[in-house]
Amino acid sequence: MDERERVNRILARLDENYGTECICYLDYGAPWQLLIAAVLSVQCKEERVNRVTARLFDRYPSVEALARADAGDVEREVYTLGFYRNKARHIIACAGILEKKYGGQVPCTWRELTALPGVGRKTVNLIRGYIYGEPGIVVDGHVRRVSKMLGFTEEDDPELVEYDLMQALPKDRWLCYGTQMIKHGRSLCPEKNPLCGQCFLNELCLKGDCYWYKKYEEQEGGELL
């Protein structure tokens, strides 16, 4: 089996088990809210971010309201997310720029988005993917870890992981792949004690025990003793 066939089989099994719907796990009702939630989600789980943003967006229901917020008040709202001072400063500044420069709208281009405070590649791909329908790979902890297990990358840096995945995967699969990796990482491939024996990708995974057993048989022409 060549590498392209292995990739295609992996993608087919992911589709079969998880579907092809692209799901954003950050709660939002407007594009600017996704931008703010994404900035807050740095090194933080989506579930915790969603609890915080539910209160935050209730208190500041518009870009204009957040842009005029008191920094200390916002810090108290986002305190549980870590790096709360930087995050509070970034989201207030973002809201101000959206209000003054973009009429309250979220820009689309890489150049415009990365110029916003606290916005990195993960946030850009979220915005462009879920707001503007532009393909992108959102690299979080699950995507990085499981992709390494599957042999799609050997990198730890999220940007380098993204570049490797862009080479390994068809462009029309980029956004959906992120959703599938999150589901897989939560259900069968957690960071501690992955359930390789129950995994439907085991014999296709470069770190899976079934894969290495089969490779031994192919190379040695016999059974593993």
Q: Name the catalytic one among 87, 140, 164, 183.
A: 140
What amino acid occupies position 73? D
Given 2, 45, 100, 122, the catalytic residue: 122
Sequence-ordered list of residues with C-beta below 8 angstroms from that of 58, at least 6 positions apart, any chain: none
Please confirm, yes or no, whether 122 is among the known catalytic residues: yes
Q: Which residues contact 82 (CB under 8 A, 6 or more apart)?
A: 43, 44
Q: Are 41 and 49 in contact (CB under 8 A)?
A: yes
Contacts of 139 (CB under 8 A, 6+ apart): 121, 122, 125, 158, 159, 161, 162, 165, 178
Distance of CA 68 to the CA centre of its chain: 30
Closest to 121 measured CA to CA, from 63, 174, 79, 57: 174
The encoded tokens of residue 209 equal 């025990």
CB 26 within 8 Å of CB 37: yes
Q: Which residues are catalytic?
A: 122, 140
